[in-house]
Homo-oligomer: A and B are copies of this chain.
Amino acid sequence: MNIQSKPFLYLQIADRLEKQIIDEVLKAGDKLPSVRMLCREHGLSMSTVTQAYYELESRSLIETRPRSGYYVCIPPVKRLAIPETSSPSAINGLLTPDDLVSQVYMDREDPKNTLFSLGMPHDDFLPIAKLNKGLIQAMRGLPASGTSYEPTQGNEDLRREIAKWSFGWGADFSEKDLITTAGCINAISYALMAVSNPGDTIAIESPAYFGILQLAKSLGLNVLELPTNAITGIEIEALKKALASNKIKVCLFVSNFNNPCGSSMPDEHKKEAVRLLEHYHVPLIEDDIHGDLYFSNNRPTTCKTYDESGLVLYCNSISKTLAPGYRVGWIAPGKFKDQVLKLKRYHALSSAPLTSEVVSIFLKNGRYENHLRKLRQSLYHNSRKYIGAIADYFPEGTRVSQPQGGYFLWVELDKAVNTVDLYQQAMKQHISIAPGRMFTLQAQFDHCMRLSFGLPWTSSLEKKLQQLGKLATNIQGASSSSL
C-alpha cells in the first residue's frame, strides 16, 4: 500500500484505481471520485489526477460523460482475475467443533440451503409491519432521532417495560436493576467477564449451546460439562458434587427450554440450585432466551425468581421472539451491576437507541404479548409436525426430545450414524443440520444432532426432512451391513 514506491505518481493512482475496478469495489457504471476531490484528498496537482484518468481511459476502463464526470465502463474490459488463493476445507471426522460452527454459519449465505441448523424465527413469524411503524415512531420521538449516545445503562423506558414484563415470572425488578445489551450473547459475554478470569472453571449443561462453549473457551475458561437430563436439565447431585470440589468459579445454565436438548429445570431444581450456589458463593449466569416461548399455559419461573442474594446474572433478549437483527438484549446482573456496567462502557460505550426504543414501544402497548401468543402457537404446531415427520421418515431406534417450548429438537440416532457425515451428505442436497459434536468439548454426541423447528411447515419442508431421514437410514444400513 506504500504509495511512494513507484516512479510516476499518476501511474500509481491509475494502478490503484484499476485494482479497485478489477476487484469490483468500483463496479461497472460507478462514478469515480471527481478530479477536484482526488486532488484535495491526496494533495495532488490537477494535472497528475487528470493524467491518471487519461491513462485509465486509454486502458478502456473508464469513460467520460460530458458535464458529469468519469464512470467505470459498461461493460468494462474485464481482465479475468487470477484464481483466489485456495483454502482447502477440511470437512471430515477431524473437524473441530469450532470449524463445524464456522461451516454451519456459512450455510446461511446460500439461500438454496434449508437451515434446520440455526435457531431463529423465520421472517414469516415476525410482525415486521408493526415493527416498522414503531421504528418511525422511535425516529420521530427520540431526541436527535436516536443519533446520540444513550446513558451506558440503556434506554430507561425500555428497562422499565422489561421490569414490568419480568413480573410475569416472579421478578420484582425496577429499571435500575437492568442493563441493556446487544443481544443475549453480548449480555452473557459481559456476565462472564464480570465474574471470571482466565484459568477459572465454569460449569455448564451438556450438551450446551455452542456459542457459550466458544465464548467460554475464548475467554480462557476451563469448561466442566455436567450431566444433564433431557427433561429436567442439570442433575442437582452432579452440581452439588462439583461445587463441593471448590473448583467451580461460575455456573451457566439455560434453565428453560435448553438449547439444544429442550430440557427445563423444575421449580424445585431451580430453588435447590440457587440454594447450593448461595452456600458456595458461586454466581450463576442464567440464559433465559427461550423462557417466553412456552407451549403450556404458564410462563415458567427462572433461577432468578428464587435469588435472594443477587448471585444470579439473568440474561435475555428479543432475538428469538421479535427481531434478531435489532440486537436488543438485557441483563439483570444482581450484585454484579457495577462491574457489568463498566464492562459495557469499556467494550461498547452505548447501545443503539433506535431499536431499543422500538422494542420499548412494542412492550408498552401490549403488542409483544399478542405477538408472542401467535408465535408460541406456530412453534408448538411446528414442533408436533417435525416430530411426526421424524417418526415417519427416520430409521428405527431414533430418539427425539419432547421440548415444552423453544426452537429445538435434539435427535439421537443409532450409534453407527456419525452426524458429521450426515451433515456433509445432507449439504449436497442443500440441507443444513447442526451435528451433535458442536455442542460439547468432549468425545460425545457424535450420533446426535439438533434440528430447529423455526422454519414454517410446508410440504417441501416435509420433503427435506424425508430426504434427511433417508440419508440417515442409508448411513445406518451401510454401517450395519459392513459389520
Contacts and interface: CB of A to CB of B under 8 A. Distances in A.
Nearest to A168: B41
A-side interface mostly: helix
B304 A327 contact: no
A249 interface: no
Contact of A1 (B146, B211, B305, B322): B305
Given A304-B1, A307-B1, A298 B42 contact: yes
Q: Residue among A24, A343, A346 with the most chain B CB within 10 A?
A: A346
A348 B40 contact: no
Interface in A110-157: 120, 123, 126, 128, 131-132, 135-136, 139, 143-152
Contact of A189 (B143, B150, B346, B355): B346
A354 B131 CA distance: 12
Given A2-B308, A342-B218, A25 B164 contact: yes
B139 A305 contact: no
A481 B20 CA distance: 66
Contact of A170 (B3, B20, B120, B150): B3
Nearest to A267: B4
A147 B342 CA distance: 28
Contacts of A322: 147
A299 B102 CA distance: 38
Interface stretch (A172-180, A239-247, A409-417, A430-438): A172-180
Nearest to A43: B298
A143 to B, nearest CB: 8
Contacts of A186: 347-349
Given A25-B160, A105-B152, A171 B1 contact: yes
Interface in A155-199: 160, 163-164, 167-175, 182-183, 185-186, 189, 193, 197-198
Contacts of A355: 352, 354
Interface in A311-348: 322-327, 342-343, 345-348
Contact of A123 (B109, B148, B308): B148
B132 A139 contact: yes
Copies of this protein chain in the complex = 2
A144 B128 contact: yes
Contacts of A298: 40-43
Contact of A164 (B3, B26, B218, B304): B26
A42 B26 CA distance: 59
Nearest to A135: B139
A134 B161 CA distance: 29
Given A41-B169, A164-B20, A325 B352 contact: yes
B299 A41 contact: yes
Given A325-B350, A349-B183, A1 B172 contact: yes
Contacts of A197: 198, 220
Given A1-B170, A1-B171, 5 more contacts: A33-B167, A105-B152, A147-B325, A218-B342, A327-B348
